A and B are shown apart, each in its own frame.
Chain A
Amino acid sequence: MIYRDIGQAILLFCEAARQWPMVWRDRARIREQLHEIGNASLFMACLLALFIGGVLALQTGPVMSERGVSSFIGGMVGLAMCKELAPVMMAVLIAGRIGSAMAAEIGSMQAYQEIDALRTMNIDPVRYLVLPRLVAITVGLPLLVVFAVLIGWMGGAMVCISNPQISITYSGYLNSLKAMVQVGDVANGLIKAVVFAIVIGTVSCHQGLTTLGGPRGVGRSVTKAVVNSIILILVLDYVLTRVLLNL
């Protein structure tokens, strides 16, 4: 079943990609979706990132200080945030908040024949519904990751300077971060974010479009959209990490 879903989702993505030239015409809907993604998630993304960065410093700081390698804490938090934690955690957050909303909205439209109505008006539902959402999430998620990386670094710094068990100063933390984190590392995280965004957008829209039945069908689609997105995010995270490490 999951293979069929993945196959159909890939076909849906190809169909949406084919409609790419229509992006400019759909800019109003893209802006609307982008607003939805940013507005709904920015505060939560920042809060999440602050605590992830903080807990990362809290878990590793005292151990590294004990072993005399506290000068690497900034770099360690920096690399973990930008290469791994920010893209994956933001993707999971967006799958839960935005992916579920996409599946629910499109699923309801399917259940209440609104998508059939679009077809009878010769309006392609992929262009009208999927393309704007896919473009918006592909732009929005990497932007959220940038915020999350910056806030996560700050969270790590706050814990380092406020915890007496971690023997590093604020400038030491920043110097370590600057020395170890390269532009390529941030780009690495952004590449992951783009791939995860495409996965969430495609899987969620596909689940919405294949909704069967009424409210129960919509509920099923939402659950499948979130669960399938998270599974694919984690699997692809491993694959992408392997690929990007070899570059």
Chain B
Amino acid sequence: MNTAAAQTVSRGVGVTVRGLCKSLAGQPVLHEVDLTVEPGEVFVIMGPSGSGKSVLLRHIIGLMEPDTGEVLIAGESIQSPGVRDRHHMAMVFQSGALLNSLTLAENAGLYLREHAMKPEAEIADIVARALAAVGLTGQEEKLPGELSGGMRKRAAIARALVMEPQLLLYDEPTSELDPLMAATVSREIVALQRRLGVTSVVVSHDRELAFGIAHRMAIILDGRIRCVGRPAEVRALQDPQVREFLDATFRHH
């Protein structure tokens, strides 16, 4: 792990993916995926659209079960009972996935209210702080439908923050965002990791984001992990397929 991750007081949990295979509708999507994410690091899984990175993320959070292989959170299978009670995990979905019938404040406080973890006044205070941390003060009573894509994404980060996660997963956190907002979200991911020492797994095809925030990263192509390493190591790779993905540009003139 690099120095930035090591400097934080790590409360994050490690993630191990072993021999993960998954087929959807008869089509293989992930082949023998092996991966280790160290506690407290920002790990980016990068790959083109349709390469299986979001499916991999859904396996890590336990929304999908592998055909073969396993996902371990701090050494425990994600499918084992009570693992979510012992290790707080949160995910920021590509669309935000806020509950449309609830206001922003209700969305952000949902986890604490449903698990009856704190008194109502304390929940309101925590929610206000979480929304302030992502620049959404004053928007508490708005419904998700009244917000822009960027605001929804930041609200989803606030909802995750309230959970005080040890593992935080981001699915395409900068997609559909303008460059300014993408930079804000990227900074927020790094700031969270520094502040809380949370383990962050980010799935993205945004090269700028990936190389900007990752302590380590993996490139996934056609459901196979092609390489894992620090950004500088990945950048120096000579694998033609990896290079094609990393160097792809569009020039009209």
Contacts and interface: CB of A to CB of B under 8 A. Distances in A.
Interface in B93-145: 93, 95, 97-101, 110-111, 114-116
A117 interface: yes
A246 interface: no
**How extensive is the interface on chain B, given as a class?**
20 to 34
B93 A113 contact: yes
A105 B62 CA distance: 24
Contacts of A122: 84-85, 111, 115
Interface SS majority for chain B: loop
B85 A112 contact: no
B91 interface: yes
A95 to B, nearest CB: 22
A114 B101 CA distance: 10
Nearest to B101: A105
Given A112-B100, A114-B100, A121 B95 contact: no
Interface residues of A, number: 16
A117 B99 CA distance: 8
A231 interface: no
Contacts of A25: 116
Contacts of A109: 99-100
Contacts of A105: 101
A219 B101 CA distance: 19
B163 interface: yes
B73 interface: no
B169 to A, nearest CB: 8
B98 A114 contact: yes
Chain B CB count within 10 A is highest, among A114, A118, A123, for A114
Chain A CB count within 10 A is highest, among B90, B93, B114, for B114
Given A120-B63, A122-B84, A112 B110 contact: no
B61 interface: yes
B97 A117 contact: yes
B158 interface: no
Contacts of B115: 122-123
B89 interface: yes
A108 B145 CA distance: 13
B91 A123 contact: no
Interface in B133-179: 159, 163
A90 to B, nearest CB: 26
A120 B91 contact: yes
A123 B99 contact: no
Interface in B167-204: none
A30 to B, nearest CB: 15
A112 B90 contact: no
A113 B152 CA distance: 14
Contact of A120 (B85, B90, B95, B116): B90
Given A120-B61, A121-B163, A112 B95 contact: yes
Nearest to B112: A121
Contacts of B62: 119
A108 B144 CA distance: 14
Nearest to A120: B91
A209 to B, nearest CB: 14
Contacts of B84: 122
A117 B111 contact: no
Interface in B73-99: 84-85, 89-91, 93, 95, 97-99
Contacts of A117: 91, 93, 97-99
A15 interface: no
A114 B98 CA distance: 6
A120 B93 CA distance: 10
A103 B209 CA distance: 39
Chain B CB count within 10 A is highest, among A25, A112, A120, for A120
Interface pairs A-B: 6 shortest CB-CB? A117-B97, A113-B97, A122-B84, A120-B91, A121-B111, A123-B114
17 contacts: A25-B116, A109-B100, A112-B97, A113-B93, A113-B97, A114-B98, A116-B91, A117-B97, A117-B98, A119-B63, A120-B90, A121-B90, A121-B114, A121-B159, A121-B163, A123-B111, A128-B114
Given A112-B95, A117-B91, A117-B99, 6 more contacts: A105-B101, A114-B100, A119-B62, A120-B61, A121-B90, A121-B159
Interface of A: 25, 105, 108-109, 112-114, 116-123, 128
